[in-house]
Structure 1
């Protein structure tokens, strides 16, 4: 029986933090590219925090979902942004009728329940928020809540996992060395062509020849990074394109709306990408 609960954090007045817990008898599909599964398992067993580094849409989030299933741990996911405060993570007092009541944030909930806490795109959060994580990534494995005077020690099974896109963030923000060195870093990238074909086929149920042509097109489009394309097509975009094709959308139209248009508004780049689509699907 699949159970999924999605809760809006009571600590986020604007709904900024989403906490998601899930347990499922069926594993989220993930095709390993190297030894990342074994490394993550050892990090979990040895209570080590993990940092996933890689481009947008290369499978970092799906990997965490797969590992949570594999380790049989609840998963709480937090999408980070520049308004994310420490209170959004930890919790805050809220007025309940004639009294105030403490509401745990998603990080505190994960700590108490022994869940895997996944902070997606962690560098988007403010530095004063990221510092809150430090005591959870070393031998202390604890969190001091100043507002309640409580010191919470991590329940068995708790693990902190963060992700970010180094290529994008290098131009804007980055983690401080004092934060980076608290994590075991696993590097992710787009899968090799044959594996990417298998992933697109599995996720979209599209035929192999068309999936192979889509992956070949993506490999050509990824070379446009040298021509000013800020983000190259991800495996996620390929899956979205393949899903449209599998459900009857003409191939070139699906490529236009799901693969080319999301990447750029530059007329020259878009025209060049459309030319590659025409060559790939004559």
Structure 2
């Protein structure tokens, strides 16, 4: 059984927190399932995540929000700082509960039962992260109801083996919807989930980071990118996101005449894509119009022609002379 330890919240997450506020984690820093620690600025949602980790009270946690807003990375970076091992799965329409429990596999001319991520997490006290939860068949997910509430996990495939969940076992899911299906038409394959299953979740809505947070992130991850350019890349990202979310462009940073006839976008400039754009801009420094070339590779090469043109127009308006003159 792994040794646990207490972590000071303010020191561990570099945030302001009451003196003496602590949370359980693990002492072993070398477990292979601990996520890699990366530069990260924790946001408001951290409080809800820590409250859940401290005392789930029979609940699971669902993080919902638009693509690339940092749902999974929030959990990974919390786990990295608490030395909390993670079993992470990306759900899909053909996944079955048995895939999470485990199966018999051939090894050295004999078969043995290999535990799946759910069984391992429950036994060892790991975090089970179910990414894209709303892509999975709700009838299969219903098999998680009892284990979420703390009941023993029964593995019928392995002779009815009983696993009593570790006190630090937690179930966390992410999704672009909150289980009621996709109302936007942007996320193919999203399924409406069972109400009884969803009733076992706390829900945390996650949005894109504040501009200051993303600017700090770019400064740390891409330090060679000039600050002026980094700030404008963040502005472009937020303009694109407004259109993706069905909102109008920012009246402060945009010309009203340029907004006439603008339509909503079916792709967005996530934090992940923003960092990619910044890194590629540095990589292609010295090439003709590196910002446009990097934006193409980071995002717009997969857009339809009209949307690519719209995004590049936004970038050109925000970046001004830097758009074609960045060196």
TM-score, length basis structure 1: 0.84
8 A contact 2:148–2:200 mirrored in 1: yes
Deviation per CA, 1:130-181, whole angstroms, max 9, x where unpaired? 11221122142x3111122112111131111100012883444232221221
Q: Which of 157, 179, 197 is matched with 1:179 structurally?
A: 197
- Aligned twin of 1:10: none
254, 269, 273: which one aligns with 2:307: 269
Q: When the two structures are aligned, how many residues end up with a matched partner?
A: 261
Return closer, same or farther for 1:98/1:194 CA change in 2, 3 Å cut-off. Answer: closer
8 A contact 1:255–1:277 mirrored in 2: no
Distance in 2 between residues matched to 1:115 and 1:201, nearest whole Å: 32
1:4 and 1:261 mapped to 2: Cα distance? 39
Gaps of 5+ in 2: 1-27, 247-262, 322-327
Map of 2:280 onto structure 1:
244
Distance 2:126 2:31 in 1: 14
Partners of 2:219 and 2:271 lie apart in 1 by 11
Contact persistence 1:92–1:103 (CA under 8 A): yes
Within 2, Cα distance between the matches of 1:251 and 1:4?
40
What is the match of residue 146 of structure 1? 156
8 Å contact 2:125–2:169 — kept in the other structure?
yes
1:116 paired residue number: 127
Matches within 5 A, 1:157-172: 157-166=168-177, 169-170=182-183, 171=185, 172=190
Query: Structure 1, residues 13-68: CA drift from partner, whole Å, max 9, x if none?
Result: xxxxxxxx1266xx43322221x222222211213421111111111111111111
Shift of 1:210: 1.1
**Kept in 2: contact 1:52–1:185 (CA 8 A):** yes
Residue 212 (str. 1) matches residue 220 (str. 2) = no
Match of 1:28 among 3, 21, 38: 38
Tell me the equivalent position of 1:222: 241
Q: Which of structures 1 and 2 has the bigger CA Rg?
A: 2
Contact 1:28 1:62 in 2 (8 A): no
Going from structure 1 to structure 2, the CA distance change for 1:248 and 1:3 (only over 3 Å counts) comes to: farther
Tell me: CA distance 1:247–1:52, structure 2 relative to 1, closer, same or farther (3 Å).
same
1:103 alignment counterpart: 114
In structure 2, the partner of 1:17 is none
Aligned: 1:133 with 2:173: no
Structure 2 residue 271 is matched with structure 1 residue 258: no
3-state DSSP class of the match of 1:22? coil
- Measure the CA separation in 1 of the matches of 2:31 and 2:297: 31
Deviation at 1:2, TM superposition (A): 7.3
Alignment partners' CA distance in 1, 2:193 and 2:219: 36
CA distance 1:3–1:71, shift in 2 (3 Å): closer
Kindly report the root-mean-square deviation, in angstroms, between the aligned alpha carbons of the 2 structures: 2.2
Over 3 Å counting, the alpha-carbon distance change for 1:216 and 1:98 in structure 2 is closer
